[in-house]
Amino acid sequence: MTRIAMNGLGRIGKLALRRMIDEGLGPQIVLLNDAAGDAEQHALLMEFDSVHGRWPVPVAADGDALMLDGHRIPLTHERTIDALPLEDVDLVIDATGVFKTSGALVPYFEAGVQKVVVSAPVKDEGALNLVYGINHALYDGSQRIVTAASCTTNCLAPVVKVIHEGLGIRHGSITTIHDVTNTQTIVDRPAKDMRRARSALANLIPTTTGSATAITLIYPELKGRLNGHAVRVPLLNASLTDCVFEVERPTTVDEVNALLKAAAEGPLAGILGYEERPLVSTDYRGDPRSGIVDAGSTMVVNGTQVKIYAWYDNEWGYACRLVDIARMVAGRMA
């Protein structure tokens, strides 16, 4: 049995932990770590969530541990990897958002850990960036560092796959209309990024996204041909990716939607969704799929410019893919 540790119990780490317990992986989780909060605080935040509601699983603090669905899992509060008690850990899911280079992750391996799955892109050559359902077959068991890319990249990649394989993408631009995260500010205060310094509650905030360029880690042939921005909006959950592509040959709205629907009902079922009803962001809260095409919003301009909207739960959907990858890696270690 592969022994798993979770480092980081923020938004993604907590939801990934819920997913793992729901999927029966509790006995394999041998360590939790988060630098902030004690066991009582984390127990409350595991059970109650402002976005995703109450988790219908028994949760309690037990000294320096969490009791989750009957499983007692030790909880530590270390800020550095080398301080973690990792001698009985085979695989770490790093959801800290802090250690985002291969070099920064080396202390895990020095402590005896065999594999690390990271909840953020690692863009140097020492890591394999995966979008589960798209290129996860690239994992052959030899790579020590595997990432689940980002939430927006997971939404974007299935759409890119379908359009690139079906119509050919010449170039494109992406705008993610993204909910607030803890990297933003509740009320105005000085910060390095002066747009993110402004209140997340009161503003639409243009900012950067690495998703359009990160997609070239999945599709190297598109390097230099995709770019994008983000607009942070004052909502808690469920985001929208606006994809605009110039394609290789003339097409129609009907053809574009037919390609996307066929993929969603076939090879990408459970990863890509296709929705014809006039839904809004709240309707996608808690959706485990990576992205859901808003069919009624598809546009084609002058035959070759294609516009597609794809919804995604940027927390739960991504946490589900992170767990998919961790399960895959753990399965190859057993």
Lowest-pLDDT choice from 48-57, 119-128, 263-272, 313-322? 119-128
- Alpha-carbon distance of 179 to 315, in angstroms, equals 10
Q: What is the total count of domains within the chain?
A: 2
The range of the structural domain enclosing residue 215 comes to: 151-313
pLDDT value at position 223? 92
Q: Which residue has the higher pLDDT, 114 or 217?
A: 114
- Alpha-carbon distance of 13 to 65, in angstroms, equals 16
Same domain membership, residue 170 and residue 72: no
Of 151, 155, 243, 320, which one is the catalytic site residue? 151
151 is catalytic: yes
pLDDT tens, position by position, 155-193: 999 999 999 999 999 999 999 999 999 889 999 999 999
Instruction: Give the rounded distance of the alpha carbon of 241 from its chain centre.
Output: 14
Same domain membership, residue 72 and residue 168: no
Tell me if 314 is assigned to a ligand binding site.
Answer: yes
pLDDT tens, position by position, 265-324: 999 999 999 999 999 999 999 999 999 999 999 999 999 999 999 999 999 999 999 999
**Residue 214: band (very low, low, confident or very high) from pLDDT cuts 50, 70, 90:** confident
DSSP annotation of 191: -
Any idea what the CATH number is for the domain that residue 172 is in? 3.30.360.10
Tell me if 232 is assigned to a ligand binding site.
Answer: yes
DSSP annotation of 52: T
Kindly report the average pLDDT of the chain as a whole number. Answer: 96
Same domain membership, residue 309 and residue 176: yes
Tell me if 209 is assigned to a ligand binding site.
Answer: yes
- Exposed/middle/buried for residue 152 (C-beta within 10 Å: 0-12, 13-18, 19+): buried
Same domain membership, residue 108 and residue 253: no
